[in-house]
Amino acid sequence: MAQELQEHWSLTTSRGKAFQPSLSIDARVGTGSTSATTGLLQYEVDTPLFELVGMVGEKKAVRSYHLCLEAIYGIEQLVHDLGDLCDFERKQSLYLASCRGDVESLQREYSVRTRNGIRLELLGREALWECFELDYPAALLSFDAGQIDAYRLTHTLLRAASNSGLEIYDQTEITDHRSGKESVELVTKEQHRIKARKIVFANGYEIPAGLGKDIVRLKSTYAVVSTPCESLPEKVTRCLMWETARPYFYMRTTQDNRVLIGGEDDDFDNAKRRDSRVVRKSRKLVKRFEKMFPEIDLNVAYSWAGTFGETKDGLAYIGETEKYPDCYFALGYGGNGITYSFIAAQMIRDLCIGRPNPNIEIFAFDR
Ligand SMILES: Cc1cc2nc3c(=O)[nH]c(=O)nc-3n(C[C@H](O)[C@H](O)[C@H](O)COP(=O)(O)OP(=O)(O)OC[C@H]3O[C@@H](n4cnc5c(N)ncnc54)[C@H](O)[C@@H]3O)c2cc1C
């Protein structure tokens, strides 16, 4: 049985403003949803590929899956180049059918992905038991996945960039923006003005006024991390795990033998209401884990809540919109915000230097 929670946090997304009363948009670097993330790196976006094909067409859907897959290895290369792995590890990913009724959709998913060159195995009940001692009707085993400490990656990137001349001003809230003929002006809460030729908005779940709130539905999500376990069997550490049920339960382990569990999403983003549920939600998450692996005792170290956003097709919004001339957006909404951020960085670099990028349409605001 899990011990009583020793501590629980409500980590901000900045919308939450719940970490400390004074900490909101003018927070320190990396304390948005990046500090709440569970750090799973998956190419599977929130919408299964066979459904995404129906929404955006086969070409764009397949391309978006391939982009996210390439992003995992791109992030691996990046942390090697930075000289700090930021706990990056390659992993496999196990997508469990939550009930028998979901097996058919797993089969469809298996065929569309393998037909498009993605390495995958479809495990039936017996194989799943043999490999993982898990009692589920079926699962997809993906060979391309990873995990990372995204907060550390953020600081490692910023350190490297500031060594190359980047100036960082945290605790500085931008309250207004004006587009001029040849430049854009940002205004801070203290009425300082910043002029630039181009601006990149990478402001998490704070939706810039004018973009339209309908591009994303904000939700609350919950997570728990255990204290380090003495040892964890390979069947637990080998894969990131998640399931077909929505909202889904997901988990991974860490290099120091902790179990990190997330899910139990709520359809609202009211910070006060969300935060009042953290203890109850984390108990539920631990119970789910213990049902899967009854022989493993978890002691909870921390539990927390955060905001995340869902889009109509599970894809991020990246690029330009005519409502904001000379501005670029990196809005990695959805469960894959980290891989989306990597894709956004490449796309926005190309837009800035005028290099054609074939992926613009996939993540466009007017799609
Ligand atoms: C509990 C949880 C688990 C998650 N798990 C995963 C996962 O396993 N894998 C995955 O890929 N993704 C996951 N995500 C999503 C992922 O964490 C986010 O998509 C990602 O961290 C977003 O990074 P970001 O830099 O775009 O936004 P943020 O980290 O939110 O940073 C945005 C920053 O902009 C600042 N800001 C906003 N508005 C203003 C303003 N007006 N003026 C000045 N500053 C401003 C904020 O203060 C903040 O610091 C998870 C999210 C949550 C909440």
Atom 21 of ligand 1, nearest CA residue: 34
Q: How far apart are CA 120 and CA 142, in angstroms?
A: 5
**With left for phi above 0 and alpha for psi between -120 and 50, is residue 144 left, alpha or beta?**
beta
CA of 210 to the centre of ligand 1 (A): 20
Task: Please indicate whether residue 322 or residue 21 has the higher confidence score (pLDDT).
Answer: 322
CA of 32 to the centre of ligand 1 (A): 5
CA of 151 to the centre of ligand 1 (A): 10
What tokens appear for 221 in the block? 């999500």
Pair type for strands 138-147 and 174-179: unpaired
Q: Which atom of ligand 1 is nearest to the CA of 307?
A: 53
What tokens appear for 292 in the block? 């899967």
Q: What's the pLDDT tens digit per position in 24-34?
A: 555 788 988 99
Residue 16: is its pLDDT beyond 50?
Answer: no
CA of 155 to the centre of ligand 1 (A): 14
Give mean pLDDT, residues 218-245: 96
Q: Name the residue of 8, 33, 151 to mutate for ligand 1: max ligand atoms within 8 A of Cβ.
A: 33
Q: What's the pLDDT tens digit per position in 28-85?
A: 889 889 999 999 999 999 899 999 999 999 999 999 999 999 999 999 999 999 999 9
Backbone angles phi, psi at 75, to 5 degrees: -65, -40
Its pTM surpasses 0.85: yes
Cβ atoms 303, 224 nearer than 8 A? yes
Which CA distances in Å does 223 have to 232, 292, 332?
19, 17, 19
CA of 33 to the centre of ligand 1 (A): 3
Atom 14 of ligand 1, nearest CA residue: 37
Q: Would you mind telling me the total number of residues written for the chain in this entry? A: 367
The predicted structure's pLDDT at residue 4: 32
Atom 36 of ligand 1, nearest CA residue: 203
How many alpha carbons lie under 13 Å from residue 324 in its C-beta half-sphere? 23
Cβ atoms 241, 206 nearer than 8 A? no
CA of 361 to the centre of ligand 1 (A): 23
365, 346, 364, 366: which is closest to 356 by C-alpha?
346
Find the range with the poorest average confidence among 50-54, 81-85, 249-253, 305-309. Answer: 305-309
